[in-house]
Amino acid sequence: MVAGGLTLYLVVTALLTVRPPPADDRAVHWVALGFGAFVALLSFTFGAEALTLGDGALDGFPAPLYCLFGAVAAVAAIGDFITLRSSSSKSRRRIARHLWRMCFALSITTASLFLGQAQVFPEAIRHFGLLTVPVIAVLLVMVYWLLRVLWLEPRAAARRAEPMT
């Protein structure tokens, strides 16, 4: 439930980043922010409940996983709040915001399939740890593109803008 709520929140807010509603209709953004805060609170609550149990897990999921989802939801909600409070929207930051939200949602989905449903894959693949490769690949691609959008492209553009002497 937590992973599904977080994935839904990340995808919806990523789409709102790319295709925002009219400027005078910001209620959708505030509702999404409230949902993100709710997911964060629920995640941390389940994490705390899992810590109180003998094996440190709730419904088969360990407490750190709930806390990770809560932290991601909290960071995203704080980012939403900051975005709603500011009037400027730089193109690079909007692209990066969309990118990390979509990629993190994709990594949750990939982990749910390859790691959460490992029993449906052949045993040989499970023993070699190949099911972790798609999950790690999604995260590595996300890091690459975030670095490129936020750091490499602005530097390249600045170098191109410098006059030749």
Give the separation between CA 165 and CA 145, rounded to whole angstroms: 32
Domain count, the chain: 2
Digitized pLDDT (tens) for each residue of the chain, 165 residues in all: 889 999 999 999 999 888 876 766 778 889 999 999 999 999 999 999 999 988 888 888 888 999 999 999 999 999 889 888 876 667 888 889 999 999 999 999 999 999 888 888 888 787 767 888 999 999 999 999 999 998 887 776 666 666 665
Domain identity same for 8 and 65: yes
DSSP 8-66: HHHHHHHHHHHSPPPTT--HHHHHHHHHHHHHHHHHHHHHHHHHHSTTSEETTEEHHHH
The label of the residue with tokens 């953004």 reads: 29
Domain identity same for 98 and 77: no
Q: Are 104 and 62 in contact (CB under 8 A)?
A: no
Please give the model's pTM, rounded to 2 decimal places. Answer: 0.80
Domain identity same for 6 and 83: yes
